[in-house]
Amino acid sequence: MPFALLLELLNYVGSAAFATAGALTASRKQMDPVGFILIAALTAFGGGSLRDVLLGRPVAWLGSPGPALMVAVVAIAVFFFAHRFERRTVPLLWADAVGMALFAVLGAEAAIGEGASPWAAILLGTITATFGGALRDVVCGEVPLILRKEIYATAAALGAALFVALHMAGVPRDAAVVAGMSAAFALRAAALWRGWSLPAYKARPGRDY
């Protein structure tokens, strides 16, 4: 499969995964179909849109109606079938993990393609993977995942950094993309399975001076 076609396919898969996560959040908030589509679109396109604006290029999903139509279809499908999931938080977290892993590397790859420096590519990959979910959570009145003790942004940064490191080392792009996505998803999956988290701040009495 040509690499350009692979990237386009992965973009659709990542968008669908994030749209599913967004729509599942909308189901927990008991929104109407318009709300489902809006939250799904925010989740799927938020991070990539910010990345494109920062890179000074056209916003990718506005180039054709295909991505928006796909997200709308996914949102409406979840509207009709979300009730089949007894615990909607679990599929939400896993769909979000898939989207995060895909977009962390795709965001970094897009930044490299625009001539961004390695550190900027890692940062933009992390933004691509996390900003849409942050928008979703803020609009839905929840604390964003990236502000909790969840291992989430860390996993996105790992995937983006591994891709950039392999790319700089001369590893073929398709192999670097797969390795970065696998690393990001593996860390997030391990955190979900084993309950890993970063240490959270614990309140303690202040001192009198």
| Confidence at residue 203, expressed as pLDDT on a 0 to 100 scale | 76
For 186-200, write each residue's pLDDT tens digit.
999 999 998 888 888
Q: Over the Cα atoms of the chain, what is R_g?
A: 17
Look-up of token digits 């965001």: 107
User: What H or E segment, with its residue span, contains residue 4?
Assistant: helix 3-28
At 197 the pLDDT is: 85
pLDDT band at 49 (very low <50, low <70, confident <90, very high): very high
DSSP secondary-structure letter at 114?
Answer: T
Sequence ranges of the domains in the chain: 3-194
Question: What is the rounded distance in angstroms from the CA atom of residue 164 to the CA atom of residue 98?
Answer: 19
Alpha-carbon gap, residue 126 to 204, rounded angstroms = 32
Distances (CA, A) of 182 to 97, 103, 110: 11, 12, 18
Q: Per-residue pLDDT averaged across 179-192, rounded?
A: 95
**pLDDT tier for residue 19 given thresholds of 50, 70 and 90:** very high
Q: What is this structure's pTM?
A: 0.88
Q: Given the structure tokens 């279809």, which residue do they identify?
A: 73
Mean pLDDT, rounded, of the chain: 90
Q: What DSSP state is assigned to residue 150?
A: B
H helix intervals, 140-172: 153-168
For 101-146, write each residue's pLDDT tens digit: 999 999 999 999 999 999 999 999 999 999 999 999 999 999 887 8
Q: Give the single-character DSSP code of 46.
A: H
- The token pair at 175 is 């192999």
- The type of residue at 13 is V
